[in-house]
């Protein structure tokens, strides 16, 4: 089999159709949305954060493996290298959302509302971190730094194919240097981005475990997508050196980190429940009372299902079983991010709409006055939505699923284009022989 991936025309067409579905769903969402276009912007934030985080986790685990002198993954390391390159797209997506904070295009964050900042003591106390400059400038710099490492490490890896093989292993030494530098950067900055992008939609609430919890969800999603991609490529005759032993290791990682994610979920929930502090318990009370299907379904899909399927050791070596589990878990963690974001965003839309778009000062006083007339009606709709079923918030609808298909197609389109630009087998990687003879 050729050592370079050739993208079939049918695959390109399907990804194009998927992206078109995503665009169409976003247009339909925007047209049928409320005055603040809450559903439209929340869907963009949800998917942008989810897929950008997957790219980050691919680079993070690749760096961790390099630093640990691991070699088992070498035969398919191009998959993680290619995934990490999506960070440049993530940079663009988060920049759009950041500009939306600056210019009042959306009202996803309560702390960005001018009227709230003037009257809310808690948000005033967090204003040093929760502000538009931090979101756009600091957030942009961080994602740009992530992409710099992703791009640089891939460039070194590809150059090793052409100019590597020396006795000093100079390319791999450089990779280890970059990987070792990136790991602490990723560890600290990813937590800051989780607080800024996700946790701050519930701007009064905080949890010291939330960044760990979100990172674990990203990681499991990345591992599930890796399994699905490798299974697909094996079916097309590529990655012939990837064996059931490699698949077994990927299955073990999916199993182990699904349990780790559940451990973090339980630790966060149990401590908040036991402490019984109102400003902490409101996060879970809101989700249990108004989003029970999402709340309990999250545990069923992301813990119970993978736990009982992958507990059997041989199931981790069965392509069909592992592929089904990976697909379910990937969807489950997309569901998890939906649950993280939507309740807080809906509450913000209710509050902002209730006082007549006070946070829209970026558009000027004329726009604020014009929209104030819609505020009371909008607030009533949102208040009704908090207690009644509201599609797109209490549960993802067809427009959410279509938007996810669009973003997934964009991710895979970028991934396949990157993967096809280099040979799949890193022939001069010093750990290649170890990977070829790997036994779990």
What are the tokens at 399?
A: 């427009």
Q: Encode pLDDT of 144-158 as tens digits.
A: 999 999 999 999 999
Residue 161 has pLDDT above 80, yes or no: yes
Give tens-digit pLDDT for 206-252.
999 999 999 999 999 999 999 999 999 999 999 999 999 999 999 99
How crowded is residue 285: how many other Cβ atoms within 10 Å of its Cβ? Answer: 13
Q: In percent, how much of the chain has pLDDT > 70?
A: 91
pLDDT of amino acid 352 = 81
Of residues 137 and 355, more confidently modeled: 137
Percentage of residues in the chain having pLDDT higher than 90:
85
Lowest-confidence segment of 168-177, 353-362, 367-376 by average pLDDT: 367-376
Res. 365 pLDDT band, cuts 50 70 90: very low
Tokens of 325: 């589990």
Tell whether the model's pLDDT for residue 164 goes beyond 90.
no
pLDDT at 293 over 70: yes
List 391's β-bridge partners, or say none. 395
Q: Which residue has the higher pLDDT, 50 or 437?
A: 50
Confidence of residue 387 (pLDDT cuts 50, 70, 90): low
pLDDT in tens, 298-317: 999 999 999 999 999 999 99
Mean pLDDT of 17-22: 98
pLDDT band at 355 (very low <50, low <70, confident <90, very high): low
Please state, in angstroms and as integers, the Cα–Cα distance from residue 137 to each residue in 52, 307, 324, following that order: 17, 41, 40
Task: For 263-282, write each residue's pLDDT tens digit.
Answer: 999 999 999 999 999 999 99
Q: What is the DSSP letter of 360?
A: G
Tokens of 185: 């950067």
| Banded model confidence at residue 329, pLDDT cuts 50, 70, 90 | very high
Question: Residue 342 — pLDDT band, cuts 50, 70, 90?
Answer: very high
DSSP string, 317-355: G-HHHHHHHHHHHHHHHHHHHHHHHHHHHHHHHHHHHHT
pLDDT, tens only, 108-131: 999 999 888 889 999 999 999 999
Q: Which pLDDT band, with edges at 50, 70 and 90, does 2 fall under? A: low
**pLDDT of residue 409 exceeding 60:** yes
CA-nearest of 343, 360, 338, 403 to 44 is 403
Q: Which range, of 145-154, 218-227, 327-336, 383-392, averages the lowest pLDDT?
A: 383-392
What Cα–Cα distance (Å) separates residue 288 from each residue in 78, 259, 281, 283, 298? Answer: 41, 22, 11, 9, 12
With H, G, I as helix, E, B as strand and everything else as coil, classify residue 391: strand
Average pLDDT over residues 64-90: 97
Mean pLDDT score of the chain: 91
Residue 168 has pLDDT above 80, yes or no: yes
pTM: 0.92
CA-angle at 240, arms to 236 and 243, nearest 5° = 115
Q: Per-residue pLDDT for 405 more than 80? A: yes
pLDDT band at residue 382 under the 50/70/90 scheme: very low
């Amino acid at each position: 089999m050729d050592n370079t991936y050739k993208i079939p025309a049918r695959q390109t067409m399907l990804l194009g159709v998927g992206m078109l579905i995503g665009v169409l769903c976003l247009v339909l969402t925007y047209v049928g949305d409320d005055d603040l276009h809450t559903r439209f912007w929340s869907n963009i934030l949800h998917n942008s954060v989810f897929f950008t985080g997957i790219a980050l986790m691919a680079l993070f685990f690749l760096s961790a493996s390099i630093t640990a002198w691991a070699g088992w993954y070498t035969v398919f390391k191009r998959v993680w290298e290619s995934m990490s390159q999506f960070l440049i797209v993530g940079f663009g997506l988060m920049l759009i959302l950041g500009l939306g904070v600056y210019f009042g295009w959306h009202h996803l964050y309560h702390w960005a509302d001018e009227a709230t900042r003037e009257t809310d003591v808690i948000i005033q106390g967090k204003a040093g971190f929760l502000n538009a400059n931090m979101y756009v400038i600091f957030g942009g710099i961080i994602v740009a730094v992530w992409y710099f490492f992703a791009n640089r490490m891939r460039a070194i890896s590809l150059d090793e194919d052409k100019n590597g093989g020396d006795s000093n292993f100079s390319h791999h030494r450089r990779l280890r240097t970059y990987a070792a530098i990136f790991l602490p950067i990723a560890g600290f900055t990813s937590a800051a981005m989780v607080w800024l992008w996700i946790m701050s939609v519930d701007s009064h609430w905080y949890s010291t475990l939330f960044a760990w919890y979100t990172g674990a969800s990203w990681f499991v999603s990345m591992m599930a997508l890796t399994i699905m991609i490798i299974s697909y490529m094996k079916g097309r005759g590529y990655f012939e050196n990837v064996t059931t032993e490699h698949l077994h290791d990927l299955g073990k990682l999916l199993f182990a980190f699904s349990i780790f994610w559940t451990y973090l979920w339980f630790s966060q929930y149990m401590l908040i429940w036991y402490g019984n502090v109102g400003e902490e318990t409101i996060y879970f009370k809101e989700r249990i009372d108004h989003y029970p299907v999402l709340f309990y379904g999250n545990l069923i899909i992301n813990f119970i299902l993978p736990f009982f399927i992958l507990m059997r050791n041989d199931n981790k070596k069965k392509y069909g079983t592992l592929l089904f589990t990976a697909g379910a878990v990937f969807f489950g963690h997309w569901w998890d991010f939906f649950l993280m974001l939507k309740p807080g965003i809906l509450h913000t839309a209710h509050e902002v709409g209730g006082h007549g778009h006070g946070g829209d000062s970026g558009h000027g006083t004329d726009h604020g006055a014009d929209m104030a007339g819609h505020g009371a009606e909008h607030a009533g709709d949102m208040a009704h939505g908090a207690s009644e079923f509201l599609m797109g918030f209490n549960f993802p609808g067809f427009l959410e699923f279509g938007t996810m298909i669009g973003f997934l197609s964009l991710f895979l389109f970028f991934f396949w284009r990157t993967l096809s630009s280099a040979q799949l087998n890193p022939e001069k990687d010093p750990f290649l022989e170890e990977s070829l003879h790997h036994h779990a």
